[in-house]
Amino acid sequence: MAGSSFGNQFRITTWGESHGKGLGVVIDGCPAGLSLSEEDIQKYLDRRKPGVSQYVTKRKESDTAKIMSGVFEGRTTGTPISIMVLNEDQRSTDYSDIEMFYRPGHADYTFDSKYGFRDYRGGGRSSGRETIARVAAGAVAAKILKELGIEITAYTQCIGGIGIDYSRFDIEERDRNPFSVPDKEVAVSIENKAKETIENLDSLGGIIECVVKGMPAGIGEPVFDKLDAQLSKAVMSIGATKGIEIGDGFMVAETTGSENNDEFYNDNGHIAKRTNHSGGVLGGISDGSDIIFRTAIKPTPSISSLQSTVSRNGDEMQVCIKGRHDPVIVPRAVVVVETMTACTILDLLMANMTSRMDYLKKVYDK
């Protein structure tokens, strides 16, 4: 299987299956000298851990991170960092009945079409559990970025069409409710809708918003490796995502140039913008303002209500999906969006170090 690696200078390769012995990631390109512990990684993994509320899968996993290489006496050595998480609560028998049919909304049919064989135990590599490895790698990237003054914050913007009121925005509230919503009142409304949806044997989708603060201008390669293109690739590679918009996104189609352009001004010797319709990216390169984007997360396709499908032989049939699934996947995807963004930003920052002679001279000129 190709395509399990992401990034160039800061390169991550994920491995493992949902119901295998474990999952993990190998990080290549992390600079030596970074203070790094398993606790640094664990706090991110705990944000996507299953079994923490009635609105996510009941699978019980500690998702404990183990650093296997690349760290000595609390600091990175510059060699590849390997991080592993063991699976502890596999119930492969929960999925034995789906071996011979294709679940609606899943990758069962497409995997079979590509390989002629699939790991039906929870979806194998197509399972959302693969994101453990991404989060572990992104925790390392986020720590590097924080030392550079760059912070990334993602949160639920809406679930089931119920969106936050920005006048009540409180990022600390995000970690107090089961939906990762930075709005206490909206969290209550979402909870009521989620309960009703679960009773109806259905699931909900939503939107995650992500903001990058402290981003310097000039990051991103102007052709194929544009900052917004790389962010889109990173986010769209997350299994449940179906769309991304940066800045004003699709709303720009309804505006004029005079409305959409961000005017520049001199802010005490610093070039700034009066607005941020661009979402912090111009020509594929960061413009120094906050990077803002949103991504659409589809409803969990594994639902308990009756659905029509076909068997591997093409026979039509009706099924109810069993097993332990997330009625609302959005809250656990928040940290995945956040950490994939961190990997993307760091990789492009590293690439930018060779874009100008004066950057090289800062390191090598004696």
Which segments are annotated as binding site for NADP(+)? 48
Q: Which residues are annotated as a binding site for FMN?
A: 125-127, 283, 298-302, 324
Q: Quote the tokens at residue 65.
A: 């991170």
Q: Of 142, 4, 137, which is closest to residue 65 (Cα–Cα)?
A: 137
Within 10 Å of residue 249's Cβ, how many Cβ atoms? 15
Give the up-direction half-sphere exposure of residue 253: CA atoms within 13 A in the CB hemisphere: 4
Is there a contact between 25 and 133 (Cβ–Cβ < 8 Å)? yes
> Hey, is 318 helix, strand or coil?
strand
- Can you tell me the distance from the alpha carbon of 336 to that of 323, in angstroms, rounded to the nearest whole number? 23
- Can you tell me the distance from the alpha carbon of 292 to that of 227, in angstroms, rounded to the nearest whole number? 12
Residue 339 gets the label, from left (phi > 0), alpha (psi -120 to 50) or beta, of alpha
Which residues in 20-164 belong to E strands, given as ranges?
22-28, 66-69, 71-72, 75-76, 81-86, 151-159, 162-163
Is there a contact between 237 and 230 (Cβ–Cβ < 8 Å)? no
Is there a contact between 181 and 53 (Cβ–Cβ < 8 Å)? no
Q: Of 330, 293, 331, which is closest to residue 209 (Cα–Cα)?
A: 293
- Can you tell me the distance from the alpha carbon of 251 to that of 202, in angstroms, rounded to the nearest whole number? 30
Q: Of 351, 13, 334, 353, which is closest to residue 152 (Cα–Cα)?
A: 334
